[in-house]
Amino acid sequence: MGASVRSSRSGNLPAEPNTFVGRAAELARIGALLESTRLLTLTGPGGVGKSRLALRAAHTAQTSFPGGVWLVELSDLQNADLLTNAVAEATRLTEQTLRPLLTAICEHLDDGPLLLVLDTCEHVLAECGRVVQELLARVPELRVLATSRQPLGVPGEHLLSLAPLPLGEHADAVALFTARAAAAVPSFALTDTNRIDVAAVCARLDGIPLALELAAVRLRGFPLDRLLEGLDSRFDLLVSPARPRLARHQTLRTAIGWSHELCTPLERLLWARLSVFAGGWDVEAAEFVCHGGPLDAEEILALLASLTEKSIVTRENDSVAGRYRMLDTIRTFGADWLEGLGEQDAVRARHLDYFRWIARQGEAEWLGPGQRMWAERLSVEHANLRVALEESLAAPEPEPALELTGTLWYFWFACGFADEGRGYLERALRRAPEHTPGYTLATWAHRLVTVVPDDVDAAESVSAAYVWLAQECQLPVSALPLTGASLAVRGESARSALLYGSNTQGPGGGGGAEFFQLLTLAVQAYLLAGQGAFERCAVVAERLRVDCATRGELWMRAWGDFFVALSGIGLGRPDVALRSAREALAAKWRVHDRLGAAAVADLLIAAEAAAGEPERAARLLGVGTRLWYTAGLPQLGDIETTVFRREYARHLRAALGDTGFTEAVREGRGLGPEAAIALALNGVADEVDL
């Protein structure tokens, strides 16, 4: 399936879920403040519409931020220590570096004016303040738009307190209620006859947007006069004579409580149990985690449909098919109800069991045709995996945490979450006895994600050695890009020993053992290439490709393609090099291996130059700079950092002239990651079929 690719770094904003209503003055104010203020925080009570307004404002401001507008949704984040990981993930920065992650983020974002939207900060307030303060200090062209019930407390912060919508027969509250009512009941329209009742409903709900939206959906089962009557009677039960009006937070809770009362007992039970999920769920997960007692698994799909009709849960149409989620305020209400039922521990335990099973299934099928599917599925379930990991670490026995953190080795290592994986593995290992199967697995996984590419001096020496080799062998290129390969494959024998100790065996059984066997072939190919034995390197790399193809595996096969391509350059076969390198790049991008993609892009520079395409090679020098930023190692994308890039810059500048070379590099560097991949694969930064 082809996907259009824009050349600008547009960001990651999701489509707006529905028509935005009202708040014209606030939108104008936000737009003006973002031009003059580096940190703007929208504050206000729950349900007042902070997140929705921030999303609308971010969409409106996109053209002012060529560096991108990036949304970091924090509502599902339970561990404040993972805030930087959440920012890295949202801004598409791969965590494959031992450097401080915040340093990598600052370098990654330091590329022109950009806007970072931090949504729902109040539960990780202190860490948000610390991270935002450092980002603003180190990224000069950054603007931050935050939403929080409390200020972040950062110097220079500008606060915009959001009030409920204005009331009155012609005010924004009535317009919002009318729009949502018409969406729920297409025959509904605001008329002179019903306008007074609509205004009364809005006044009863204090103009709180979430309460208005919940009430509008009730028109599916109640005429307007009955809806108003129901609100009056419900509120009268909770209002004391001394307090004729409810506080706004109590108004919202009362409105949610009224929606809760209109649910059937089984719908209420499912609502409570669904509150254990973070970041959404699919039907299979809901059936496993939420069944039990009076609630049969076979009933859950129908109950989900009913809760969707009532706007308690929403279906994500633009995401994985059949995926659902709840708004924060509604989920909190369900969590309180679950605790009141005394089921919290049991449902959380089932949630942990389900995601332990998911991790095991993914590990078993990782080296197979489902690899891309599992990379995408676990990325979608990342928030739930974090919940399960925290639950396993809180368990009295250490084995669940050891098993889960260790089993996820492929997610940490191959999908770009090495930094986060190290943190979880270290926490699990600290509280566990040695000499157990779980401890062995977690130790191996920790070594795998700790041997990462950070030694630029070593990279320089490898690259320099290849300049010498190219000159000695009179190869048709001035340097060969083994820097990226040595970093990404972890090919040095010393590093291999660090991973596997003195034994020749990898982890016992499972996908980890198979992965070790394939990694051994990749190491052999690397070492043969380092000796200039390109014929033998090609043979080993082809064996690696065949072994991976037999399994339907992509991640490691791409390294086989890489070394076949490298051998093609060394043997003077640029057609072989181009074909294999493009296959490697497409595979690395599909499975979210940004480090591997950057390394392969460097190889394509050499392949294009060898094929007599200096202008395309120069563009790829710029593309490589962009991709090394995405991988969190921008220094390896600097033309002056490694001998490989310096030599190719000299070679291509001579071929194209100063102006042609500079313009081609600038063009490649200015592309967003997707457009950069498209250019590398087919020579045009327009469309890529992955």
**Which of 405-414, 638-647, 666-675 is predicted most confidently?**
405-414
Predicted pLDDT at 275: 94
- Cα dihedral 477, 478, 481, 486, rounded to 10, equals 120
pLDDT at 450 over 70: yes
Kindly state the average pLDDT of the residues 181-202: 90
Predicted pLDDT at 505: 40
Low-confidence winner among 138-147, 279-288, 359-368 (lowest mean pLDDT): 359-368
Do residues 180 and 198 touch, judged by C-beta distance below 8 A? no
Q: List 40's β-bridge partners, or say none.
A: 145, 158
Distance CA 455, CA 434 (A): 30
Q: List 144's β-bridge partners, or say none.
A: 39, 116
Kindly state the average pLDDT of the residues 351-374: 89
First-to-last C-alpha distance (Å) of the chain = 7
Residues 455-463: contacts with CB within 8 Å, 24+ apart? 456/635, 456/636, 456/641, 456/642, 458/486, 459/483, 459/486, 459/487, 459/636, 459/642, 460/641, 460/642, 460/643, 462/486, 462/530, 463/642, 463/643, 463/644
Distance CA 520, CA 636 (A): 25
pLDDT at 20 over 60: yes
Kindly state the average pLDDT of the residues 430-450: 79
323-325 vs 281-282, strand pairing mode: antiparallel
pLDDT at 604 over 60: yes
pLDDT at 175 over 70: yes
520 contacts: CB under 8 Å, gap ≥ 6:
none
Kindly state the average pLDDT of the residues 25-46: 92
DSSP 436: S
The first and second tokens of residue 335, run together, are: 């969590």
Q: Calculate the alpha carbon distances from 97 to 313, 385, 459, 665 in Å.
A: 38, 22, 14, 26
Predicted pLDDT at 98: 64
Of 37 and 229, the structure prediction assigns the larger pLDDT to 37
Q: With bands split at pLDDT 50, 70 and 90, how would you rate the model's confidence at 492?
A: very low
Range list of β-strands (E), 522-640: none
pLDDT at 243 over 60: no
Low-confidence winner among 250-254, 478-482, 577-581, 664-668 (lowest mean pLDDT): 478-482
Distance CA 159, CA 121 (A): 14
pLDDT at 7 over 60: no
Kindly state the average pLDDT of the residues 491-517: 48
Predicted pLDDT at 329: 86
Go through 572-594 and write b for each residue having 16 or more CB atoms within 10 A of its CB, e for each that does not. ebbebbbbbbbbbbbbbbbbbbb
Q: With bands split at pLDDT 50, 70 and 90, how would you rate the model's confidence at 152?
A: very high
Do residues 125 and 19 touch, judged by C-beta distance below 8 A? no
Q: With bands split at pLDDT 50, 70 and 90, how would you rate the model's confidence at 685?
A: low
Predicted pLDDT at 271: 95
Distance CA 179, CA 22 (A): 11
* Packing angle, helices 594-610 and 614-630, rounded to 10: 170
Predicted pLDDT at 632: 66
pLDDT at 138 over 60: yes
What pTM value is reported for the model?
0.78
Predicted pLDDT at 120: 92
Q: With bands split at pLDDT 50, 70 and 90, how would you rate the model's confidence at 475?
A: very low
pLDDT at 85 over 60: yes
Of 327 and 158, the structure prediction assigns the larger pLDDT to 158
Q: With bands split at pLDDT 50, 70 and 90, how would you rate the model's confidence at 233?
A: low
Give residue-wise pLDDT tens across range 286-328: 999 999 999 998 999 999 999 988 888 888 764 445 789 988 8
Predicted pLDDT at 460: 43
Q: Calculate the alpha carbon distances from 99 to 95, 113, 478 in Å.
A: 10, 24, 31
The residue to which tokens 């708004």 are assigned? 327
Q: List 148's β-bridge partners, or say none.
A: 43
493 contacts: CB under 8 Å, gap ≥ 6:
523, 527
